Amino acid sequence: MRGAALTTVLSFAFLAAFTPAARAEGDGPRALMDRGRMRDAAAAADARLRSAPDDLEALCVLSRLRARQQRYDEATRLAEHAVATSPKSADAHYALAEVSGTQAQHAGVFKQMSLGRRFKKEDDAALALDPHHVDAMEAMIEFYTSAPGMLGGDRQKAAALTEELVKVNPTEGWLQKAQNAFAAKDSISGETCLRKAAELGGGDAKLALANRLAQPWRKPDEAERLARDVATAEPWRTGAWSVLAMRDAMAKRWPELDATLAESEKAVPGNLGPHYQAARVLITSGGEPARAEALLRRYLSVEPEIGQPSWAAAHWRLGLALEQEGKKADARAEVETALKLDPSLDAAKKDLERLGH
């Protein structure tokens, strides 16, 4: 699923931070983040820090979210403060490791190396303090798997730590085994591991399997059933609504799609990720571009939740929908807007060349 380049070495560590094994209770920053309410989590953490600058939970949450927003200087400052004020906290060291790993994905080669070393140093510190810190274990497994040997990569250590993770947290352990199998291009074993994780319960595992099965050539009906189970039990999980919306779009069930999106907005106010995903499916399949346009314009009416596709991505997709409608000038304008917002969108650059300047 990921190449060996250092830009992708730590990506699973980052994803793990937003699909945590142990969910916090209440309405604090960590609980809000765990429930996908990233903007609310950031606001709650920021409010806490104004009155209590050393609040460990707030520092860790806000640093991780700022890294997700690519606000690396602020993220690093917050994580370093967490480590300085709570040096015996595994969460603090893991937060700094995650910030370093996330930044490495977007850095040049030489900086990637230094960030990779810092990631390992801080993740090692987290595991020394708490050998069963699930996020830190997952991050280190990915590091061992993907990092070059000169930086500390070691597939044997990755395999051993994965087996330890299965003992510590079976669901997360089987998800990691699936990750390892897909990375080794063993899709059969990967799906088998996903099924074992899903059998153990938990929305994360069921959604991982649902996303695997959602493609029309796999088992979309089973994917829909899994997503519906998750949406019923944990309606705050936007991923479940996204799978359901994509399934409705693929099947061209328009009343059902409208109902799914309405339910999603009610369950997760302010997070329109399912609208974007449904539009993406419609554009990819080449059907109903006007409907895709409407969904994307709705998506662009609200600031994206942290971690959801950016406005730049939405403008790019909107350009593709308009192109399918035969509105070439409007399509070109949207792609140009996308590139002004995010010049790194390589796919949009290629589409702009095709559309003509």
Domain boundaries, the chain: 1-163
Give how far Cα 254 sits from Cα of 132, 246, 272, 297, Å.
Answer: 46, 11, 17, 17
Q: Encoding tokens for residue 221? A: 């009906």
Domain 1-163, CATH number (from 3.40.50.720, 3.40.50.10610, 1.25.40.10, 1.25.10.10): 1.25.40.10
Query: Mind listing the pLDDT tens digit of every residue in the chain (357 residues)?
Result: 233 222 232 333 333 333 343 444 468 999 999 888 999 999 999 999 999 999 999 999 999 999 999 999 999 999 999 999 999 999 999 999 999 999 998 888 889 899 999 999 999 999 999 999 999 999 999 999 988 888 888 999 999 999 999 999 999 999 999 999 998 899 999 999 999 999 998 899 999 999 999 988 999 999 999 999 999 999 999 999 999 999 999 999 999 999 999 999 999 999 999 999 999 999 999 879 999 999 999 999 999 999 999 999 999 999 999 999 999 999 999 999 999 999 999 999 999 999 886
Contacts of 23 (CB under 8 A, 6+ apart): 31, 34, 35
Task: Name residue, tokens 């140009």.
Answer: 336
Task: Name residue, tokens 């944990």.
Answer: 234
Q: How far apart are CA 49 and CA 165, in angstroms?
A: 33
Find the largest Cα–Cα distance for the chain. 60
Decide: 151 and 6 in contact? Cβ < 8 Å.
yes
Residue 36 falls in which region: left (phi positive, over 0), alpha (psi -120 to 50) or beta: left
Angle at 135 between CA 123 and CA 227, to 5 degrees: 155
Q: Quote the pLDDT of residue 287.
A: 79
Q: How far apart are CA 282 and CA 40, in angstroms?
A: 31
The string of DSSP codes covering 78-117 is HHHHHHHH-TT-HHHHHHHHHHHHHHHTTS-HHHHHHHHH
Q: Quote the pLDDT of residue 149.
A: 84
Q: Is the pTM of the predicted complex or chain greater than 0.95? A: no
Q: Quote the pLDDT of residue 27.
A: 80
Nearest Cα neighbor of 141 from 125, 127, 158 is: 158
Q: Quote the pLDDT of residue 12.
A: 31
Q: How far apart are CA 293 and CA 288, in angstroms?
A: 9
According to DSSP, residue 55 is labeled: -
Decide: 205 and 197 in contact? Cβ < 8 Å.
yes
Q: Encoding tokens for residue 180? A: 């390892």
Q: Quote the pLDDT of residue 21.
A: 38
Q: How far apart are CA 161 and CA 169, in angstroms?
A: 12
Identify residue 84 by its one-letter amino acid code. Answer: A
Task: Name residue, tokens 């060349």.
Answer: 353
